Amino acid sequence: AQSVSQHNHHVILSEAASLELGCNYSYGGTVNLFWYVQYPGQHLQLLLKYFSGDPLVKGIKGFEAEFIKSKFSFNLRKPSVQWSDTAEYFCAVIGFSGGYNKLIFGAGTRLAVHP
């Protein structure tokens, strides 16, 4: 069965620090990968997505993620975080197996950025 693992449940950083959130998935076939962000009290919003091509994907607000197929990973990065990046981040994967393909979410990583 497909699964998504996010290594860090809580991350605390100071402003201007660099960020890397880990995401690993278990599925051997073709995948599409997503990172969603949920700001406090709000719904999930798409941060970035990978479908094919360049494994380094750039998203909104200075975020990027790198798909490393050999490691089944899709880690999210940002060189310099801001207080406004305080939110919960979810990695999600669709594994294509014919017919209906389900979107599976990780448990989420809660990021707190201190001024």
Partner 1 sequence: EAQVTQNPRYLITVTGKKLTVTCSQNMNHEYMSWYRQDPGLGLRQIYYSMNVEVTDKGDVPEGYKVSRKEKRNFPLILESPSPNQTSLYFCASSLGLGQGGNQPQHFGDGTRLSIL
Nearer to partner 1, 98 or 115 (CB): 98
Residue among 21, 78, 90, 111 that touches partner 1 (CB under 8 A): 90
Two structure tokens written together for 30: 């073709």
Residue among 49, 64, 77, 86 that touches partner 1 (CB under 8 A): 49
Task: List phi, psi (to 5°) of 94.
Answer: -115, 125
Round to the nearest angstrom and report the end-to-end CA distance of the chain.
41
The nearest distance, CB 88 to partner 1, in angstroms, is 9
Tell me: does residue 28 bind partner 1 (CB under 8 A): no
Two structure tokens written together for 99: 């017919």
Nearer to partner 1, 32 or 86 (CB): 32
Q: Whose CA is closest to 49, among 38, 40, 62, 60?
A: 60
The nearest distance, CB 16 to partner 1, in angstroms, is 29
Nearer to partner 1, 10 or 82 (CB): 10
Q: What is the distance between the alpha carbons of residues 31 and 104, in angstroms, rounded to a whole number?
A: 11
Residue 28: CB atoms within 10 Å: 9
Binding region for partner 1 (CB under 8 A): 4, 6, 9, 32, 34, 42-46, 49, 51, 90, 94, 96, 98-103, 105-108
